[in-house]
Amino acid sequence: MKSLNTFEIKRKQTRQIHIGQIPIGGQAPIAVQSMTNTDTRDVSSTLRQIKRLEEAGCDIVRLAIVDSDAAISFREIVSKVGIPLIADIHFDHRLALAAIEGGASGLRINPGNIGSQQAVSKVVAAAAEHNIPIRIGVNAGSLPRKILKRYGSPSPPAMVESALGHIHILENLGFEQIKISLKSSNVLDTIKAYEELSERVDYPLHLGVTEAGTLISGTVKSTLGIGVLLAQGIGDTFRVSLTRDPVDEVKVAYEILRALNLRHRGPEIISCPTCGRCEIDLFGLVEEVERSLEGIKTSPKVAIMGCVVNGPGEAKEADIGIAGGRGQGILFRKGKVIKKICEAELAQALISEVKKMIN
Ligand code: SF4
């Protein structure tokens, strides 16, 4: 249930492209992406991971195509899933051609490092023929030497210049189904680079802070980098990058979107940090409720509060809520007290109330 919010983010108007059935840009819902970390040549493991990503709400999945065996596996994987897949390719244009033939819904390449001018033309022609967008993925860690020399470091203007160079290569070939990413592991550089590029082009932008890190540091960096941009209306799709199970990237992505009131999926759990007033096992309760409600697509607001100081107030604002007491809790539904429940039965009572409400 979407929360009422007086502040609405005004998104920048960008051109719209499609990755498979998913629209990107042009005010389409902001698409959540992730990337498999299995070996693409291991078809069954990769399929399992794609399935889990899809269940978590991922809209688009990217796979690394490292060699011709991976390209063969990619074709088989495409034939067995419904979610659009993007082929991520560096250096070898033949892999890009194989991925296009294999059913890729999009390519992530850098036209400047995929081979000769002739090789680039072949890939672009094949992408145009199959109606497949190309993402130009500029990474601060791999800028061309001549740009680095000119700017002295992989600064935001250097990243933007690199992106514009790749864009011109594609535009000169008459290809405009483009989206662009400008990733750096430095949050402030990432923000600046996207802001500058957003002023220069109206192609859809794919946001991300690269090599963001582990669950806590990666979540903080991604949330800041991506969140600051989304709050300004910049960005049409994004990937949270974590050294972690990619399913967690999708979970963090939806929390970012929810916090900005841009997209809602799954229950919103509001819980207090607890303090000396809490007289129930709130941590255990929250974990059990969160686990049991995983996979729910609607967004009920569920408050789990430790005591009666702030508890009833928060719980009343939520769709369903609990305010703890000594070895017991009060259950609220849409602001009305339903009943008092002993601690042992709190989790199940709350879960069944939520399920009743959404069914
Ligand atoms: Fe402490 Fe109660 Fe606030 Fe939780 S709701 S932090 S237990 S005062």
pLDDT digits (tens, 9 = 90+) for 295-346: 888 999 999 999 877 766 776 678 999 999 888 999 988 878 889 999 999 9
Q: Residue type for 36, please?
A: T
Question: Which structural domain, as residue segments, surrounds residue 40?
Answer: 17-259
Whole-number percent of the chain with pLDDT over 90 = 79
Tokens in use for 267?
């229950």
Does some domain include residue 10? Answer: no
Domain boundary pick from 203, 236, 259: 259
**Ligand 1 mutation pick, 269, 307, 317, 328, max ligand atoms within 8 A of CB:** 307
CATH number at residue 111: 3.20.20.20
The whole-model pTM stands at 0.91
3-state class (DSSP) for residue 227: helix
Name the CA dihedral angle for 46, 245, 264, 59, rounded to a multiple of 10 degrees.
-20
- DSSP H or E run through 334: none
Q: How confident is the model at residue 2 (pLDDT cuts 50, 70, 90)?
A: very low
127 and 42 share one domain: yes
74 and 125 share one domain: yes
| Residue 306 Cβ < 6 Å to ligand 1 | yes
Q: Name 329's bridge partners.
A: 324, 341
181 and 323 share one domain: no
Which atom of ligand 1 is found nearest the CA of 307? 2
Q: How confident is the model at residue 8 (pLDDT cuts 50, 70, 90)?
A: confident
Tens digit of each residue's pLDDT (9 = 90 or more) over 125-136? 999 999 999 999
| Residue 326 Cβ < 6 Å to ligand 1 | no
Tokens in use for 236?
């049409």
Separation of 268 CA from ligand 1 center, angstroms?
A: 18
**Ligand 1 mutation pick, 271, 274, 330, max ligand atoms within 8 A of CB:** 274
Give mean pLDDT, residues 37-43: 97
Query: Would you say residue 143 has pLDDT above 50?
Result: yes
Residue at token pair 């840009």: 25
68 and 183 share one domain: yes
280 and 341 share one domain: yes
| Residue 278 Cβ < 6 Å to ligand 1 | yes
Q: How many domains does the chain have?
A: 2
190 and 65 share one domain: yes
Give the residue from 111, 47, 56 showing the smallest Cα distance to 85: 47
CATH number at residue 283: 3.30.413.10
Tokens in use for 340?
């008092």
| Residue 272 Cβ < 6 Å to ligand 1 | yes
Which atom of ligand 1 is found nearest the CA of 311? 5
Tens digit of each residue's pLDDT (9 = 90 or more) over 249-302? 999 999 999 999 999 999 999 999 999 999 999 999 999 999 999 888 899 999
Q: Which of 5-14, 24-33, 285-294, 350-359 has the highest mean pLDDT?
A: 24-33
145 and 282 share one domain: no
What is the distance between the alpha carbons of residues 235 and 96, in angstroms, rounded to a whole number?
Answer: 26
253 and 134 share one domain: yes
| Residue 329 Cβ < 6 Å to ligand 1 | no
| Residue 311 Cβ < 6 Å to ligand 1 | yes
Does some domain include residue 12? Answer: no
Does some domain include residue 7? Answer: no
Query: Would you say residue 91 has pLDDT above 60?
Result: yes
DSSP 83: S
DSSP 112: G
